[in-house]
Chain A
Amino acid sequence: MIGNVLMKAPGVRWGGVSPVAALGVVLLALIPFALSDYQVFQLTLIIANSIALLGLNLLTGYNGQISLGHGAFYAAGAYTTAILMDKFGVPYWLTIPISGVVCYGLGWGVGFPALRLEGLYLALVTFAMGICVPQILKYKHFEHMTGGVQGIVLNKPDAPFGIPLTPDHWLFLFTLVIMVGMFIAAKNLLAGHTGKALIAIRDNPIAAGAMGIDVARYKTTTFGISAMYTGIAGSLCSLSIQFVAPDSFSALSIGFLVGIVVGGLASISGAIYGAIFIQFVPHLAENISKAAPSAIFGLLLIAFVYVLPFGIAGSLKKLQMRYQARRGPKVP
């Protein structure tokens, strides 16, 4: 399965990156020169969160395992980075792969009991897991490591080798490179037979098992990979925000779920749409009504699901299919 990530999947251009996407990435890398530091900071958060959403989508959208507790992995990643930097002086860039490994392990570990749980049971258990994380982080016996309720304050890394970029700008590029790498990896993973196996397990696990797919191995590994993605996103965000605390993670899991549903389940681009949605729509709700912004947000959410039940990416795909159908088959 890891091999697929590195090798070219048959029939797909290298890395599965279309010229349009590549152009988009280059433009994105250059945009910060035209934006203020604050806007670059916002973009960084969107990009980091899209990695988290992609992770969740891999698990829930493609593999059908509902997790309402991904905030736990995000917190694990964020705290791993924070503790390594604060208590052990590990350089920021090294904390990312370490965080990835730690979260992979955690996810894989959760994946085992998850094998026994289906659908809504898994949803509830992961939901409870997400809620428990702040409690565990505040636990007095871990306080010397986690900083307890006070949290840990971090320093934003400066651009290396004296490159004349602001810390915000440098962090943006750092996050962007990681995001592009992880997206390409995910695309390769899904384009090959692994992707088909995951989807088969989602749609009919019994049939998939009967056809020789090692369901248990795929499911636990997917949980691990999904946790790894979300954990790395947590690490990147903690660098941007420069602070971690147990209270930062309470409503996150629900936010992620909203993100992947709105963005589009089982879609890679959906992760990006979803991240944009969860970044900006709460602001929009607040502008509409100061008195009850949550109510407006709830209404917007419901309206969204009505109008685009398959998410932005899903609806775009449907439009594209309809357009192609109208154009008729390609004449050879």
Chain B
Amino acid sequence: MKQHSLMVARPVLTLLFACSVLACSKPAEKPKYDPGVTDTEIKIGQTMPYSGPASAYGTIGRAEAAYFKKINEAGGINGRKINFISVDDSYSPPKAVEQVRKLVEEDQVLAIFQPLGTPSNTAIQKYLNTKKVPQLFVSTGATKWGDPKQFPWTIGFNPSYQLEAKTYAEHLLKTNPNAKAAVLYQNDDFGKDYLTGLKEKLGAKASMIVKEVSYEVTDATIDSQMATLQASGATVFFNIATPKFAAQAIRKAFDSGWKPVQYLSNVSASVGSVLTPAGLDKSAGVITTAYLKDPTDKRWDNDPAMKEYLAFLAKYYPEAKPIDGSNLYGMVAAQTLEQVLKQCGSDLTRENVMKQAASLKDFAPNLLQPGVKMNTGPDDFFVFDSLTLAKFSGTTWEPLTN
């Protein structure tokens, strides 16, 4: 009897022993999920102005949705498909707050990706940081999104307006340190942020700015402002305007005989959408910074990245207008999120998402201008840290080397 039970017991015990050894030797790789993540999907939320005064930018959200559709068809990221929930906020901060609360509390998304517009983002920033939900790659250039100490859950994307302004100011100080400058700026966060950056970088020489004049988006024309600027005797002109007004300014600066050295905000640097209506010959000599390739610039006609972009739009977002640079921007932003999520692996907690977003090392999707890379770190929440200058030749943008 005793022998019989031992005979059964021994193999069982051995088996038990073996199992326990196996169990202890290698802890299984357990995936960590926060709300919005399962083994097969990652929920990402977004607010975009699909209606209202800024509805032109709604195409960014659509381009991003198209890109996620593309990667889902290819199997997703690490086997998980992206469930992209993008809703309308009409560029209204109260509506943005409402929609973001719905996305976080009802839809339980992992993160809010590329919310657009400084006012809307200011409205939701405190809420998202209190709730510890990533406010990823904010789609505006306001400088305040790169503040990891106060707002560790918010990270910007667009090169900050102040960075851009400083790039121009630096160039001006180097090439034309005694000139008089005039500034036209849009009377909102975009224009004012720029102006602050310009003045800061010019520092002691801020008095170079002899005249600064604003305009509203409700103004029909900016003829009056241009007349004031021309009368100031300045020889340098900072054109801090959105496409429609920038084009009017370029045209007027030429037609009125002023013809200053002109720096143009990169939001209005599209060859097809802005410079052509303004007049290609009138735009010759204008200086801007570039971080994305311009789909209307002939320079990229044979570029494989550009061809890929056009093919992508044709297949996944056929109603899009390829010349609209916003679509290209959306694709690049979506690629950045793809990279971050890839870097997360199976640790898809909100904390890790922020950590990975702050660990981009020389990430350079091929739609970026040559030489431009994305870099972030725990203290550097600005995705783009430097910009290159370009000058318009009359047909395309050429890199400006000093």
Contact = CB atoms under 8 A, between A and B. Distances in A.
B399 interface: no
Nearest to A78: B94
Nearest to B117: A247
A8 B94 CA distance: 38
Interface in A231-277: 237, 241-243, 245, 247-248, 250-251
A131 B218 contact: yes
A248 B106 contact: no
B41 interface: no
B123 A251 contact: no
A36 B92 CA distance: 23
Interface in B204-244: 216, 218
B119 A148 contact: no
Interface string B49-66: 011110100000010000
Given A138-B187, A151-B122, A241 B94 contact: yes
A249 to B, nearest CB: 9
B367 to A, nearest CB: 25
A247 B51 CA distance: 14
B92 A135 contact: no
A151 B119 CA distance: 8
B299 interface: no
Given A38-B105, A291-B319, A245 B122 contact: yes
Interface string B277-299: 00000000000000000000000
A250 B101 contact: no
Contacts of A237: 94
Contacts of A250: 53, 92
Interface residues of B, number: 33
A286 B123 contact: no
Nearest to B127: A242
Interface in A267-320: 282, 286, 290-291, 293-294, 297
Given A36-B106, A138-B187, A149-B188, A248 B98 contact: no
Interface in A111-159: 131, 135, 138, 148-151, 153
A42 interface: yes
A41 interface: yes
Nearest to A42: B98
Contacts of A190: none
Interface string B78-108: 0000000001101111100110011001100
Given A38-B101, A282-B51, A294-B51, 14 more contacts: A36-B106, A138-B188, A150-B189, A151-B93, A151-B123, A153-B123, A242-B97, A243-B93, A243-B123, A243-B126, A245-B122, A248-B93, A282-B88, A294-B52
Interface of B: 50-53, 55, 62, 87-88, 90-94, 97-98, 101-102, 105-106, 118-119, 122-123, 125-127, 187-189, 192, 216, 218, 319
Q: What are the nearest 6 A-B pairs in CB distance?
A: A243-B123, A38-B105, A294-B51, A247-B119, A149-B189, A245-B119
Interface of A: 36-38, 41-42, 45, 131, 135, 138, 148-151, 153, 237, 241-243, 245, 247-248, 250-251, 282, 286, 290-291, 293-294, 297
